[in-house]
Every structure is written in structure tokens, then in C-alpha cells.
């Protein structure tokens, strides 16, 4: 199954996928349904006012972050609460999950693979400056 993730077109033609609630909910549904290996996610990343490489990388990283957030959710516990009609406990756990430091898990993931948070952006900027210099 293919899933096309984008943001609604606004007056500035902004399509860059941001880490918003809608994206998190989409990724939670993919993970809850065990469809991680069944869904291909395609992204829009166009915005005429910003660097296209940066827009692409931001969108890609945001989908990865949303999937990580979804993978860290206690789906079995939430499902058991739902099935047991423990709706208050379920709501409390869902709200607590929103403030857990999943960003720390993301940073550790990057560190283990030899990346640091926004190091990629420095490379994009350097390339952009080089191209602009060559055009002059």
C-alpha cells in the first residue's frame, strides 16, 4: 500500500512535511496496525522559498521521528485498557506519553549511526553557499 504524506497547499505553496499531530496520528495507525512493512510512504517537499534539499531532509526526518514516536507507544497496554473499558486510565497514559522525552531516543539513534541532530543542515548550507558563489 502506498501513502502520500503532504501538507495542504497554502498561499505560499508550502508542502514540507512537519512534525505535527496529524503526522504522528498517521504513523501511530501504521504501527498499531502492524503495517510498517506494508506501507510505502511518499512525501512532498516542495517550497519555492526554501532550500529544496533541506525541505526534503526535514520532511524525511519528521516522518522518521513520527514513526519512532509511534513505535515507543505502549500499544498493548493501551489496547488492554480499551478492551477493559478503563478509559480514564487510558487517557491518563496517552497524555503522559505526550511529554516523554522521545527526542532523547531520536538523538541516541542518530549518535549510534554517526550523526548529530542538525549537522546535516550545515552541509546543506555549505553546498548552497558554494553553488551561489559559483553562479556569481
> Would you state the pLDDT for residue 50?
80
What is this structure's pTM?
A: 0.80
What residue spans of 1-136 are helical by DSSP H?
Answer: 21-32, 52-71, 75-83, 87-97, 102-112, 119-135
3-state helix, strand, coil in the chain (%, to 5): 60, 5, 35
What is the number of structural domains in the chain?
A: 1
* pLDDT tens-digit readout, 105-125: 999 988 898 887 777 888 888
Parent domain of 27: 2-135
- Dist. CA 36–CA 107, nearest whole Å: 22
CB 3 within 8 A of CB 39: yes
Q: What is the mean pLDDT of residues 55-68?
A: 91
- Dist. CA 38–CA 27, nearest whole Å: 13
Q: What is the mean pLDDT of residues 43-47?
A: 72
Share of the chain above pLDDT 90, in %: 43
Interacting residues of 15 by C-beta distance below 8 A, sequence separation 6+? 6, 7, 9, 44, 45, 46, 47
Query: Does residue 7 register a pLDDT over 70?
Result: no
**What is the overall mean pLDDT for the chain?**
86
> Would you state the pLDDT for residue 9?
53
> Would you state the pLDDT for residue 88?
97
Query: Does residue 1 register a pLDDT over 70?
Result: no
**Higher pLDDT pick, 10 / 67:** 67
Q: What is the mean pLDDT of residues 63-82?
A: 94
Residue keyed to cell 558563489: 133
* pLDDT tens-digit readout, 17-30: 889 898 999 999 99
Amino acid at each position: 500500500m502506498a501513502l502520500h504524506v503532504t501538507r495542504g497547499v497554502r498561499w505560499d505553496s508550502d508542502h514540507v512535511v512537519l512534525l505535527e499531530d496529524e503526522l504522528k496520528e498517521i504513523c501511530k495507525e501504521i504501527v498499531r496496525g502492524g503495517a510498517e512493512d506494508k506501507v510505502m510512504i511518499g512525501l512532498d517537499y516542495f517550497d519555492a522559498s526554501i532550500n529544496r534539499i533541506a525541505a526534503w531532509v526535514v520532511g524525511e526526518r519528521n516522518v522518521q521521528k513520527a514513526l519512532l514516536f509511534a513505535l515507543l507507544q505502549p500499544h498493548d497496554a493501551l489496547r488492554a485498557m480499551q478492551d477493559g473499558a478503563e478509559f480514564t486510565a487510558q487517557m491518563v497514559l496517552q497524555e503522559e506519553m505526550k511529554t516523554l522525552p522521545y527526542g532523547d531516543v531520536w538523538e541516541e539513534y542518530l549518535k549510534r549511526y554517526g550523526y548529530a541532530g542538525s549537522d546535516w543542515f550545515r552541509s546543506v548550507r555549505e553546498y548552497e553557499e558554494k553553488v551561489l558563489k559559483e553562479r556569481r
